Structure formats: structure tokens, C-alpha cells
């Protein structure tokens, strides 16, 4: 069993910025979305069963994220080529970002002993601060989407 790391990031901390390649080889930076909430979803591997279920769930509720003006970004250590094939097979409309050297995964404190990301979700507010974290206790557990929406709604009520 892989050893889980626990993020040192807490609600209110500045979200570490990053620039990663998406499936179309375009640079995507967290700071590109300043002014909008970002749902940052770290996951272990493309093509695995639980990760497929998680991405399908996120895609299913994408209209609800859009209603909150939230951007969803998926991040794993898989290649952009794997991301492209997998995203196309699942008809995903949100970017999957390739963190091949694990820099963003480490910055968020969610790298495990095999170099992959733990399953974790961070909500970053429009000012670039961490508003919510959910680091799964097991790779088999998908973070609770209703809690992500609660965090988004709470941010909206603090305008």
C-alpha cells in the first residue's frame, strides 16, 4: 500500500501557483484563473477504475460548476498523451494537466511514495487562497462533491 502524504496547506493559505501542460500541449497556470474559483482535483492515474468514476462524476455535474463560475482542473503525473486519449474516451470538457515531474503534486503536499498524486480536491477562491481541502484517506474514496459545492456557495455568500 502506498504511503499517503498529508497536505500542509490549510484553508486561508495561498494556493501554490503552477504552470502545467494540458492534453493539447498548452500551458495552463493557476494564476490564469484569478478572479474565479478553481476546483483543483488531484488523482493518481488515468485509466484506473476509481479515477474514471471520479472524472465521470465531475463531468456529470459540470453544469453546476459552471453555474458557480468555477473552473475544474484535473492533475496527475500521467503524460499529456495519456490525458488526451483518456479525456477523449470519457468526453471530458475540463482540462487534465500533466505534472510529469510532480512539482505541483508536491507543492500541494499530496504526493505518495510511488510519485503519483493522492486523491485530493482543493477549492481555490477568486483571490488565490485555499477555501476547502479534501484529501482522501484511501485511493478508493472519491471526495464528496456536495462538500465542494458547499465551499463554492460559502465563497459566493462572502462577496
Q: Which are the catalytic amino acids?
A: 51
How far is it, in rounded angstroms, from Cα 21 to Cα 3? 27
SS3 content of the chain, % helix, strand, coil (to 5): 30, 25, 45
Q: Which residue has the cell 479525456?
A: 87
Specify whether the CB–CB gap between 130 and 45 falls below 8 A.
Answer: no
Asked if residue 96 lies in contact with residue 76, where contact means CB atoms within 8 angstroms, the answer is: yes
Integer angstrom CA distances of residue 50 from 46, 54, 55, 56, 57: 10, 6, 9, 10, 11
Amino acid at each position: 500500500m502506498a504511503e499517503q502524504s498529508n497536505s500542509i496547506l490549510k484553508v486561508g493559505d495561498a494556493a501554490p501557483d503552477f504552470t502545467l501542460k494540458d492534453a493539447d500541449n498548452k500551458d495552463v497556470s493557476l494564476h490564469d484563473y484569478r478572479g474565479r474559483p478553481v476546483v483543483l482535483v488531484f488523482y493518481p492515474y488515468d485509466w484506473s477504475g476509481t479515477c474514471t468514476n471520479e472524472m465521470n462524476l465531475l463531468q456529470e455535474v459540470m453544469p453546476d460548476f459552471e453555474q458557480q463560475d468555477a473552473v475544474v482542473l484535473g492533475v496527475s503525473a500521467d503524460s499529456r498523451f495519456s490525458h488526451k486519449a483518456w479525456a477523449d474516451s470519457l468526453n471530458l470538457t475540463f482540462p487534465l494537466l500533466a505534472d510529469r515531474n510532480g512539482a505541483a503534486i508536491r507543492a500541494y503536499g499530496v504526493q505518495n511514495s510511488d510519485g503519483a498524486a493522492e486523491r485530493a480536491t482543493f477549492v481555490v477562491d477568486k483571490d488565490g487562497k485555499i477555501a476547502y481541502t479534501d484529501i482522501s484517506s484511501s485511493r478508493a474514496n472519491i471526495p464528496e462533491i456536495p462538500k465542494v459545492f458547499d465551499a463554492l456557495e460559502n465563497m459566493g455568500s462572502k462577496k
